[in-house]
Amino acid sequence: MILIWLLVTTFVSGPLSWLAALWNRTLARRLCFAGLAVDAILLLYIWISRYSALAAGTDMGWILEYKTLWITPLGINFYLAMDGLSLLLASLTVLLGISSLACSWKEIDKHVGSFHFSIMTALTGILGVFMAMDLFLFYFFWELMLIPVFFLILIWGHENRTYASVKFLIYTQAGGLFMLLSIITLYWFGFNTTGQNTFDFTQLMGVAVTSHFLIVMGFFVAFAVKLPVAGVHMWLPDAYAAAPTAGSVILAGLLSKTGAYGIIRFILPMLDNVSSPLIFVVMLLAVISIFYGALTAFGQRDIKRLIAFTSVSHLGFVLLGIFAGTQMALQGAVVIMIAHGLSTGALFIIAGALQHRLGTTDMTKMRGLWAALPRMGSMALLFALASLGLPGLANFIGEFLVLAGTFQAHPWFASVAAFGFVVSVVYSVWIIYQVFYGPVEKAQRTTDLRFGEMLNLSALAAALIWIGIFPQTVLNTTKTALGNIEDTQHVRITSETKDMKNSDVTIVENTRPNDSERIAK
């Protein structure tokens, strides 16, 4: 029932906040904080009770599971499950949800109740995506998280918010349509194969690996749009720039992770019959995304658009690691997902603070702000260094593992992608120079980060530093889940296992039954 409580607590906080705002705005905000605080306590309990088993590799199945009939004639179940990967991403969702509420405390002063209702509904959808194992339920949560984000941009956004919100909705809904067609086709294949009506992906995996690659492509298009991959990213800079600060944090820190999570959870188990040229094309797109995002970011004057394009670059490393075909690269991709959510979310919080104080996101109108905003400058420097992959911070660990793991199977892709490190240094330093150094255009009289803002950013910084110094926290949590996913793909990394068993990165042996045994059960 803990999984149900995670969803119920998050969702119910929204309408309660909406009603409370009719009398007291502060109470409305506190209700949402209380809801996410309950979620944090539940997740902390799961971490404490299960981490030892996850680290030792003895917890080989789902950590938690809840399944009940929902729409019986169609074989639709309300099926939630959590493993180490889901636990990690659910924790990121709650942490960034709290940060989003904190950074909007002073920024949002109109329609406060409906704003918090939209935030909590979006977070409910994101949590549902990370836990749903029934494909119909997954699609339900996938669509649920889009509508409130659309309204966040449309109602509380900044310049060009109407254009940006409609563009966001069109792209994401179009991608979702491809996924819906793949889900229906997979359901039909499953019925013809087993004679059972079911959307349960754990039962459909055996069907999935023998079905047509167009099913894989339908899922991939939906997830690529959300990630996003270069070529289907056109909604991203407008949406990120126009959204309020909380919306930008959710878009960059969480919604993009749903795309990467979907690829890992649902596409990897279906790659057995997909041709290697297709995987080659995806990895090529990943490398293109790395350089396109980095080079385009360097040419931006708007700080929020710059950070948006850096997301394309960083998430290109995620895509590369997922399709590299090694456990090390896959583990690195997950670390980047967490690190990117923390560092980019923090950079958007800082960009929002600057916009709230100065009334602009144009970096050419800032310059020389370090003297006036030393605390903000220090925090911005820390997160910019994290973004460029400074050793000792989480981003470096993730990108290093991705490149090292990719080099084992695809040395040319890894060698080319490594130059993305160099370009990331340029745009990260460019942010700091343009905003906090350089010639002072005019004296700025504004306030530095307040205590609450410093506390908010410090929590994100602490998480980045912890993962950078103790990466096994993440690797131990996800190793069994990623090993199980690799096993359903029938990947045997025997040589890598022998070489890596005594290293810091844990490689997992096969732990799940094969498809014939699963179908028989």
Q: Number of folded domains in the chain?
A: 1
Q: Is 355 helix (H, G, I), strand (E, B) or coil?
A: helix
Predicted pLDDT at 488: 58
Contact yes or no for 129/138 (Cβ under 8 A) = yes
pLDDT in tens, 385-444: 998 888 999 999 999 999 999 999 899 999 999 988 788 888 888 888 888 887 766 656
Name the H helices within 23-79.
25-56
Residue 255 lies inside a defined structural domain of this protein:
no
Q: Given a cut of 60, is residue 208 above it in pLDDT?
A: no
Is beta strand 76-82 parallel, antiparallel or unpaired with respect to 64-71?
A: antiparallel
Q: Print the domain residue range for 454.
A: 276-493
Q: Tell me the three state secondary structure of residue 66.
A: strand
Q: Decide if 239 is inside a domain.
A: no
Q: What is the pTM of this model?
A: 0.90
CB 506 within 8 A of CB 479: yes
Q: Measuring CA to CA, which residue among 319, 346, 335, 205 is closest to residue 264?
A: 319
494: pLDDT strictly greater than 50: no
Give residue 470's identity as a one-letter amino acid code.
Answer: F
Q: Would you say residue 229 lies in a domain? A: no
Site of tokens 């596409």: 267
Tokens for 9? 């607590």
Q: Is the pLDDT of residue 101 over 70?
A: yes
In a domain, 19, yes or no: no
- Contact between 335 and 467 (Cβ < 8 Å): yes
Average pLDDT over residues 316-334: 93
Dump pLDDT digits (tens) for 127-167.
999 999 999 999 999 999 999 999 999 999 888 899 999 99
DSSP-assigned beta bridge partners for residue 76: 71
On whether residue 51 sits in a domain, the answer given is no
| Averaged pLDDT for residues 295-317 | 90
The answer as to whether 421 is a domain residue is yes
Tell me whether residue 127 is in a domain. no
Domain assignment present for residue 326? The answer is yes
CB 134 within 8 A of CB 77: yes
